[in-house]
Chain A
Amino acid sequence: MATELESYFLNPPAGSAAARAAEFGTDLTLTLENLRLTPEERIRKLDSFIEGVAKLKASVRVIGPTEPNAKQHH
């Protein structure tokens, strides 16, 4: 069944809901990745992502417009 699921999302049949989602702009490779997880893993992944975004927001410091020839420091 795994291959049928993969095929459905990676090569959506014409007229299918997956084809419409792909046309809409949904990245179905990410959906397929999620479907390989258990429900609990999906919640943990969501929590981890929310936490990551919150940390990112907390760490952002706006310096100003980027100069065209400025070197980027990492």
Chain B
Amino acid sequence: MLSNIIEAPLRLLGEYDIKCVIVGGVAAAIHGSTMLTNDLDVCYSREAPNLQKLATALQSVHARLRNVPEHLRFILDAETLKRGLNFTFVTDIGDLDLLGEVRGVGNYEDVLADSLTVELFGYHFSVIDIGKLIAAKRAAGRPKDLIALPELEAIQEAQALKNQTQS
């Protein structure tokens, strides 16, 4: 049984210095949400050096596409990442979803803008702004996204009140 299936992929991204922003359920958890998730979603920079580092990092944990038959040939390299956009991987250390774009928000640069920097396990990570996370979940529109909204909106309002008090 795998353990630390969120922490381990985060450490991998930190170790390989991948330019990315944490989005999805893990971002919600970092903002304080109690909703559960069991994979890590990140929106990644599509600059060539980042794709190369990302391919090397993914190779090190034997990443393969999730729910794709084993016999289908998949070459995990920077060129493949460049040709695609969004990938869902299963790896030796946990599931990892790479998003070139986040619906309702945009690409890496759009997601990175206004993001929050947090330290996790000795590495600095960018986490999507809570307002953008709410927009992304609303745009995704799946029941599991929509049920997360009331709590996220409460956290957002609490953060705004806290900022008002401090300023």
Stretch of B43-51, B73-81, B82-90, B155-163 on the interface side: B155-163
* Interface contact B33-A17, CB-CB below 8 Å: no
Q: How far is the CB of B82 from chain A (nearest CB, A)?
A: 30
Total interface residues on A, using CB and 8 Å?
32
By a CB distance below 8 angstroms, the chain A residues around B150 are: 17, 20-21, 24, 26
Q: How many A-B residue pairs have CB under 8 A?
A: 95
* Interface contact A34-B32, CB-CB below 8 Å: yes
Range, interface on chain B? 20 to 34
* Interface contact B161-A43, CB-CB below 8 Å: no
Q: What is the interface of chain B, defined by CB distance below 8 A to chain A?
A: 1, 3-7, 10, 26, 29-30, 32-34, 36-38, 118-121, 127, 150-151, 153-158, 161-162, 165-166
A69 interface hit (Cβ, 8 Å): no
User: For A24, A39, A49, A55, which residue has the most chain B Cβ atoms within 10 angstroms?
Assistant: A39
Residues 10-22 of chain A: 1 if any B CB is under 8 Å from the residue's CB, otherwise 0?
0010001110110
* Interface contact B38-A50, CB-CB below 8 Å: yes
* Interface contact B120-A20, CB-CB below 8 Å: no
Residue of B nearest to A28 (CB): B154
Residue of A nearest to B7 (CB): A47
